[in-house]
Amino acid sequence: MSSLPNTMKGVLVCKEGGPEVLEYRTDLPVPSPKECEVLVKNSVIGINYIDTYFRTGLYKAPKPEILGKDGAGKIASLGPGVTGFVENDPVVWMHTGGYAEYTVAPAERTAKIPKEISEEDACAAVLQGLTALSLIDEAHKVNAGDWVLVTAASGGVGGWLCQLLRARGAHTIATVGSQAKVNDARKLGAEKVVVEQEVGDEGVKQVVQEKTGGRGVVAVFDSIGKITFDRSLECVARKGTLVSYGNSSGAVEPFSISRLAAKNVKVTRPTLFNYIYTREEFEQYLDELWRLMTKEKFTVRIHQKYPLAEVAQAHRDLESRKTMGKLLMVP
């Protein structure tokens, strides 16, 4: 773009705490891209549960900081050494600093959006969709006919997992937080949906035993963390895998590794960025995600779009566990 403003709207976090520490500003400096970086003028910004971890201090990061791991918009300028992009290219990016009008992102973590996909859908899909894809391919390779358990199945990643597992021919037992979310999980592909608050841990374990003939599930994909870890470990079959990829209830407490010997169970704590570390890995998963969206017509679920100034309300809504799908903001 020929001229850029000196200041921009954005959200600054100067200290750890609740949604009240999210400070909406209109005077933040517009960043400049360095070598191998691009500057993106965001048209839509993603909100993810990991943002709350950095806000509260569960995950430590220097303050002040601008939260936000993903967004979509147009290339505003290119840093030295960047090739493959030109100004005004519609792109999606994954990095940090998303809660703002402009974000600097590594070119290696930025990709052009196919013409068939809107910027809104690309932003809603990229981080959560790639997370789900990598979990069922690398955290635990799921095969047709496998029984698996997915917690928070109506959430962002959980919803993608249900769709992907159905497409793979696996059988999904899903847990959700309320009756209002049951139909959503079923539409996405879950065969059996259990409301956590109604049946409790024992009810979930009973359903797993009934559906698997007492063997347990080959994998649990658990984003809840602390309060579901023990139950998830009990639900896993012999030689199965507990994939603990989130902490919405808090971090999993230390446990004795000898507990895994009872069933030769594996426990893994993956993060997406270690699965897409190289550009080749990033593009491989992106190509598959775009294919699923354009050819297989996978559902992109957007809970709500919030003005950037209403970021605190968006965080409150997310943490209330009443949302379904991706939360987005518009700068």
Which of left, alpha, beta for 193 (phi over 0: left; psi -120 to 50: alpha)? Answer: beta
Give the pLDDT band of residue 2 (cuts 50, 70, 90). Answer: low
Check residue 264 and give its pLDDT.
Answer: 98
Topology given in CATH for the domain delimited by 7-113+301-330: Quinone Oxidoreductase; Chain A, domain 1 (3.90.180)
3 state SS of 202: helix
249-301: pLDDT as tens digits: 999 999 999 999 999 999 999 999 999 999 999 999 999 999 999 999 999 99
Task: Please list, in sequence order, all residues whose beta carbon lies within 8 angstroms of the beta carbon of residue 316, skipping any fewer than 6 positions away.
Answer: 19
> Is residue 86 packed enough to be buried (19+ CB in 10 Å), middle (13-18) or exposed (0-12)?
exposed
Query: Distance of CA 156 to CAs 46, 151, 200, 263, 321, Å?
Result: 11, 11, 22, 30, 11
**In 3-state terms, what secondary structure has residue 48?**
coil
> In this structure, which long-range contacts are made by residues 224-231, counting pairs with CB atoms below 8 Å and at least 24 apart in sequence?
224/151, 224/152, 224/248, 224/249, 225/249, 225/250, 225/251, 225/252, 226/250, 226/251, 226/252, 226/253, 228/151, 228/201, 229/253, 229/255, 230/201, 231/201, 231/204, 231/205
Of 54, 67, 55, 57, the closest CA to residue 99 belongs to 67
The answer to whether residues 242 and 233 touch, using CB atoms and an 8 Å cutoff, is yes
Is the four-CA dihedral 225, 228, 230, 236 of positive or negative sign?
Answer: negative
**Same CATH fold assignment for domains 7-113+301-330 and 127-273:** no
- In the numeric block, the tokens 């894809």 are attached to 133
- pLDDT tens digit sequence for 302-328: 999 999 999 999 999 999 988 999 999
Q: DSSP assignment of 79-146, as one string?
A: -TT--S--TT-EEEEESS--SBSEEEEEGGGEEEPPTTS-HHHHHHHHHHHHHHHHIIIIIS---TT-
The two three-digit tokens of residue 2, written as one number: 């020929």
Rounded Cα distance between 229 and 224, Å, is: 8
Q: Is 205 helix (H, G, I), strand (E, B) or coil?
A: helix
Cα distance between residue 39 and residue 33, in whole Å: 6
Q: Is the pLDDT of residue 172 over 60?
A: yes
Q: What confidence tens digit (pLDDT) does each residue in 146-169 have? A: 999 999 999 999 999 999 999 999
Vertex 320: Cα angle to 319 and 322 (nearest 5): 120
Q: Where are the domains of the chain?
A: 7-113+301-330, 127-273
Say if residue 266 is exposed, middle or buried (CB neighbours under 10 Å; 0-12, 13-18, 19+).
middle
Angle at CA of residue 67, ends 63 and 68, nearest 5°: 160
Convert the pLDDT of each residue in 107-122 to its tens digit.
999 999 999 999 999 9
* Mean pLDDT, all residues of the chain: 97
For the cut 70, the answer to whether the pLDDT of residue 188 exceeds it is yes
For 220, the token pair is 């649990």
pTM, rounded to two decimals: 0.95
The confidence score (pLDDT) of residue 319 equals: 94
> How far is Cα 97 from Cα 109, in angstroms, rounded to an integer?
13
What percentage of the chain has pLDDT greater than the value 70? 99
Rounded to an integer, the average pLDDT of 186-201 is: 96
CATH number of this structure's domain 127-273, picked from the four choices 2.40.50.140, 3.40.50.720, 3.90.1150.10, 3.30.1380.10: 3.40.50.720
Q: Would you state the pLDDT for residue 134?
A: 98
In the DSSP assignment, the letter for residue 265 is -
Q: Quick check: 329 and 306 in contact, CB under 8 A?
A: yes
